[in-house]
Homo-oligomer: A and B are copies of this chain.
């Protein structure tokens, strides 16, 4: 007996190894093409006997409907695209899952891609998704000019921006209250006696980073505290830069900070590491919640946003656009929540 033939007997370059089509099924069952289509799609008007014959042929041939063909004819692909910054960032995990759940409830699949915070890559991905004719698009934008989407919007591609607004086009957007959240977080530090407070955030071209900085400035201004330039550091959120920024604020010969407000989860994690190396107690409030924040000593006080709610709300709006029940682009803002765990309640060290 020969070896069981395996992958080697498939024709690698061939069209899916010549899968059987409805035509093949029809021939084998001795019926018309349309009758096969009826059985495959569970449409009424087929006698049990005919249905049995067709089903038999389907099983014998291992037929599986080709949705590519179906999509071409029907016009809807039952798929949506999600473009985010980085699939590996813990912030996007719950967001993606929430989107997937809504998509699933609507019978749609999810195509996922990362822009790596690169506007060109965002554009490339979004347009690739449009070429695939996704029914809708959920975009966490990296760029600030989305006019390239205008023909797509006109053509009826449902679109919702998430976490950050679209640039130079009028589109639905669901964001967190970045300004208010940051302001509250910084005000919390001020209420605990701090006046020299640092801010370390992401690149200022990122909308959320700019808004959070604005919140920081507003809280300081509300308290009548003049802000030193050396207290603010914006840039990439890699550990090296953030570490340097934190060290510099802490070591400032004239105005060393007694507290730091960190602009996102990645920055917070690095600053926790830096502070762990210092004996002086420095207060910390971070934007975004982080896992195990409650188990550190002190626990990490954060301004939490609800990533799952962000994803769910955006996805639901997307499908309402597709229903035709949502006609005018809007901006939806979700509240943030201050969670006190200790690090934000430390008094100034001096």
- A interface vs B, CB < 8 Å? 6-8, 10-19, 62, 64-69, 71-72, 75, 77, 79, 86-90, 92-94, 96-97, 100, 104, 109-114, 127-133, 150-157, 170, 269, 272-273, 276, 290-292, 295-297, 308, 321-324, 326-329
Contact B97 A93 (CB under 8 A): no
**A128: B residues at CB distance < 8 A:** 109
The quantity of this chain's copies bound in the complex is 2
Task: A156 to B111: give the CA distance in the assembly, Å.
Answer: 22
A109-B113, A272-B292 are contacts. A132–B68 as well, Cβ < 8 Å? yes
* B324 adjacent to A13 (CB under 8 Å): yes
Q: Which residue of B lies closest to A150 (CB)?
A: B62
Cα A110 to Cα B125 in complex, Å, equals 11
A19 CA to B252 CA, complexed, in Å = 60
Among A10, A18, A68, chain B packs the most CB atoms within 10 A around the CB of A68
The residue in chain B whose Cβ has the minimal distance to the Cβ of A170 is B6
Interface contact B88-A131, CB-CB below 8 Å:
no
- Contact across chains for B17 and A156 when beta carbons are under 8 A apart: yes
**Residue in B closest to A292 when the chains form the complex, CB atoms:** B292
Name the CB-closest residue of B to A70: B131
Show 13 residue pairs from A and B whose CB-CB distance is below 8 angstroms, ordered by the A residue. A16-B133, A16-B155, A62-B151, A64-B127, A66-B72, A87-B97, A88-B96, A90-B291, A92-B93, A100-B113, A109-B113, A291-B292, A297-B297
Report the bound CA distance from A7 to B19 in whole Å.
40
Contact B269–A68 (Cβ < 8 Å)? no
- Cβ–Cβ < 8 Å partners of A132 in chain B: 67-68, 79, 109
Identify 15 new A-B residue pairs, CB closer than 8 A, beyond the known A16-B156, A62-B151, A290-B292.
A7-B328, A8-B328, A10-B154, A13-B324, A14-B156, A64-B127, A66-B131, A68-B71, A68-B72, A79-B132, A97-B114, A104-B113, A110-B111, A111-B111, A269-B292
Q: Are A66 and B133 in contact (CB under 8 A)?
A: yes
List of B residues within 8 angstroms of A112 by Cβ: 96, 100, 110-112
